[in-house]
Amino acid sequence: MSAMQDEVFSVYGVWSKRLMIVSVSLFALLGTMATSMYYPALPTVASDLGVSITDVNLSVTTFMILQGIAPTFVGSFSDSSGRRLAYTACFSIFLAANIALALQNTYAGLLALRCVQSAGSGGLIPLASGVIADIIEPAERGSYMACATVAPVLGPTLAPVLGDILTLQPFYFFFTQRNKQQEGDSTQRRPMSFPNPFPILKVVLDKEGAVVLAGNGIINILIAGVNTGLPPLMKNLYGLSEVQTSLCFLAFGVGSAVCTVITGRLMDRAYRKTAAKHSIPLKLARREPNMPVEHARLQVTWPHIAAAIAGLLGYGWTLNKPVDVAGPMVFLFVIGYTTTAVAQALNALMVDLFPQDAVTASAANNLIRCGLGAAITAAIQPLTDAV
C-alpha cells in the first residue's frame, strides 16, 4: 500500500467527525437511558400494577437480556447494508415501543413492550463503535471513544433525572453509509441482507477478545448492581422521595462525565508514548503487527481498577452504618469515575483488536454486559433482603 494511502484514514474533516461522534453518542445515550429511566419509580410502578419489587425488577432483567441479544443481528446488518439503514431500523422500533408503552397499563404489557423497546435500543451502542472505527484512526480513538462509550454508564444515571426531557435530533443522515473495509464512495447504496448473528462467535471465541469481554462484564456487574440497588436503599435507609432518589444518581453521573474528559486524553497519550517507545510512526501504528496496543490501552486501567474496588468497599461501609447521605454520594462519584475509565479503555481495545468488525465486537461486548447486568439486576433485591 502506498504511503499516501497509509496517511489518509478518513476523508472527513475534523468538524464532520465531531458532528458524527456527537450524534452517535446521543443515540447511544438514548438507548442506555431506556434501561433505567424508571429506576426511582420502581416502588410506585410495583404498587400501581399490584406486583412486588422483585417482579418489577424482572422487567429490567428482560430488557437487558433482549438488549444484549439484539446487537448480534444489528452488527452484520450494518456491515452489509450500511450504518444509516441500521440506525433507522433500530430507532423506528424503539420509537414504536415507547408509544405503545405509554398506552398500556398491565404488568404483562410492560414486560412484552420493554422487550420490544430493548430490541430497538440495543443496537444503538454497538453502532456507535462502528462509526468511530470507520472514521477515527487509533491514535485519536481514545478521546472519541470516551464520548461514545460513556453512554452505557452515564445513561442509567441521567435517565432517572431527565426522564423524557431529552429530545434527540435525527442526525443519522450524516453517518457513513458503509464501514471502513468497503472501498469507494461512502454514499453509495448497498443491497440489504438478512441479519446474521453468528459472526459474533469470532469475537467471543477469540482468546484476546474473550479476556476483554470478561473484564468488561465484571465492570458492568458492578455498575448494574449499584444502580439497581440504589433506589430501595435510599428509600429504606434515608427515607428519600423518588425525586430525591433520582438526584442521587447524579453523583455517579458526574463522576462518569468528569472521567470522559480526562481518560480519553490519557488513552491517546498512552498510545502515542507506546508507539514512540517501540519506534513506530504514529500514522503506521494501526497496521504495525508489533504495536502492543493491549499495553497502550490497559496501562490506563490498573489504577482505576484499584480505586473502583476501594470505592465499592467504602460505599458498602457507608450503607452498613449508615452515615450521613453525603457519604454514599462521595463513593458513588468515585465508582462512577473509575468504572467509566475502565469501560472506556476496554471498549477502545475491542475496537483496536477487531477494526474491521467493530460493530460485531461491540455487539459481543454488549451481549456480555447486558447478560451479566440482567443476572445481577434479578438477584440484587433478594440479596439485599437476605442481608
Cβ neighbors of 95 (< 8 A, separation 6 or more) are: 120
| Nearest residue to 145 (alpha-carbon basis) of 40, 9, 8, 268 | 268
C-alpha span between 134 and 16 (Å, rounded):
13
In a domain, 7, yes or no: no
For residues 300 and 172, give the distance between their C-alpha atoms in angstroms, rounded to a whole number.
32
Q: Does 6 fall in a domain?
A: no
- Residue 8 maps to a domain: no
Distance CA 358, CA 204 (A): 13
1: in domain: no
CATH assignment at residue 172: 1.20.1250.20
Residues of the chain with pLDDT under 70: 1-11, 35-41, 79, 147-198, 284, 286
Alpha helices in 37-121 (DSSP H): 42-49, 53-81, 83-103, 107-121
Q: Is residue 268 part of a domain?
A: yes
The number of folded domains in the chain is 1
**Residue range(s) defining the domain that contains residue 17:** 13-185+197-386
Residue 230 is predicted with a pLDDT of 85
State the Cα–Cα distance between residues 127 and 88, nearest whole angstrom: 11
Determine, yes or no, domain membership for 312: yes
Tell me the HSE value of 106 on the side-chain side, using a 13 A CA sphere: 4
Is 192 domain-assigned?
no
Peptide bond connecting 322 to the previous residue in cis, omega within 30 degrees of 0: yes
- pTM of the predicted model over 0.85: no
3-class secondary structure, 154? helix
Here the cell at position 72 is 448480534
Question: Within its chain, how far is the Cα of 8 from the centroid?
Answer: 29
Cβ atoms within 10 Å of 166's Cβ, excluding its own: 14
* pLDDT value of residue 334: 95
Question: CA–CA separation, 140 vs 219, rounded Å?
Answer: 24
Cβ 219 vs Cβ 347: under 8 Å: no
- Dist. CA 155–CA 152, nearest whole Å: 6
End-to-end CA distance of the chain: 62
Closest CA to 340 of 267, 274, 273, 271: 267
DSSP code for 197: -
8 A C-beta contact, residue 245 and residue 329: no
Residue in 249, 243, 203 with CA at minimum distance from that of residue 356:
203
Residue 206: DSSP 8-state: S
In a domain, 57, yes or no: yes
CA dist 341 and 375 (Å) reads: 23
H or E stretch covering 375: helix 358-386
Q: Are 172 and 84 in contact (CB under 8 A)?
A: yes
Q: Which long-range contacts (CB under 8 A, 24 or more apart) does 201-208 make?
A: 202/357, 202/360, 203/350, 203/354, 203/357, 203/360, 203/361, 203/364, 204/364, 204/367, 206/353, 208/294, 208/353
Instruction: Write down the pLDDT at residue 9.
Output: 59
